Amino acid sequence: TQLLEQSPQFLSIQEGENLTVYCNSSSVFSSLQWYRQEPGEGPVLLVTVVTGGEVKKLKRLTFQFGDARKDSSLHITAAQPGDTGLYLCAGYQRGSNYKLTFGKGTLLTVNP
Amino acid sequence: NAGVTQTPKFRVLKTGQSMTLLCAQDMNHEYMYWYRQDPGMGLRLIHYSVGEGTTAKGEVPDGYNVSRLKKQNFLLGLESAAPSQTSVYFCASRDYSGGTPNEQFFGPGTRLTVL
C-alpha cells in the first residue's frame, strides 16, 4: 500500500498550459516536501510545507498543504519546456523525523 | 563543496556476486540514507543512519547491509546480488534538524544491473 498517492502518474502538455499535480494520503504528515528530478540526476528540493493550509509560491509554481495535513498539490502556471521532469512529493510522518516517505512521482513533459 | 558523491556511477554484476557502493558527503551532515528507484515505484528507503556508528532498516532492507564507520561515508553492500536488485541507487544526506524538516541532498545515483 502506497502511503502517498500521486496523480497523475504521467502528464504531457503544451508550453503555456497550466497543470496541477496531486499528492494524497489517509495519514497525517508533520510536513511535506516536493522534489524535482531530471534524467540521470538525483532529486532536488523545491519546497517544504509545514502548516495545514499553507500556500507557498516559487515563481510559476504554487504549492499547497491541505488543512488536515494529509494532502498537497503543486500547480504550475504557463508551463515551459524547462519544467519537464519527475516531480516527487515526500512527507515526514508524525513521530518519525528521520524518514521521508516518497510518492511514486509524476512525470511531466512540456512540449514546445 | 562536492555535496554528495557516489561511487561507482554504473556497474554490471552477475547473480551471486558481491559489491559495495560508496557514498560520501562533505557537508558534515548527521543523517544519511540509501534509496533505490525503480520505474513507477518512486524512491524506497533501504537503510539509513542518524549518526556515525549507527544504522537502521528502512522499507526494503532485505539483501542489503550498510556501515557508517565515518560520519562522512555511508556504504551499501550487496553480499549476493540478485536480478531483483537491478535498480538505480541514490544516497542522500541531511543536517540534524531538531524537528525541522530539513532538505535531503541527493547524490547523482548509481545504476546497477544484475544479470
A2 or B111, higher pLDDT: B111
A9 contact residues in B (CB cutoff 8 A)? 40
- Asked if pLDDT for residue B1 goes beyond 80, the answer is no
Task: Specify the residue for cell string 545515483.
Answer: B109
- Asked if pLDDT for residue A33 goes beyond 90, the answer is yes
- Asked if pLDDT for residue B99 goes beyond 90, the answer is no
User: Which whole-number Å values give the CA distances from A41 to A8, A46, A92, in the listed order?
Assistant: 22, 15, 23
Nearest to B41 among A50, A90, A104 (CB): A104
**Residue A109: its pLDDT value, please?**
97
Q: Give the A:B interface size as CB pairs under 8 Å.
A: 54
- Asked if pLDDT for residue A42 goes beyond 60, the answer is yes
A104 contact residues in B (CB cutoff 8 A)? 40-42
Give DSSP secondary structure letters for chain B: ---EEEE-SEEEE-TT--EEEEEEESS--SEEEEEEEETTTEEEEEEEESSTT--EE-SS-TT-EEE-SSTTEEEEEESS--GGG-EEEEEEEE---TT--PPPEE---EEEEE-
The answer to whether B21 faces chain A, any CB pair under 8 Å, is no
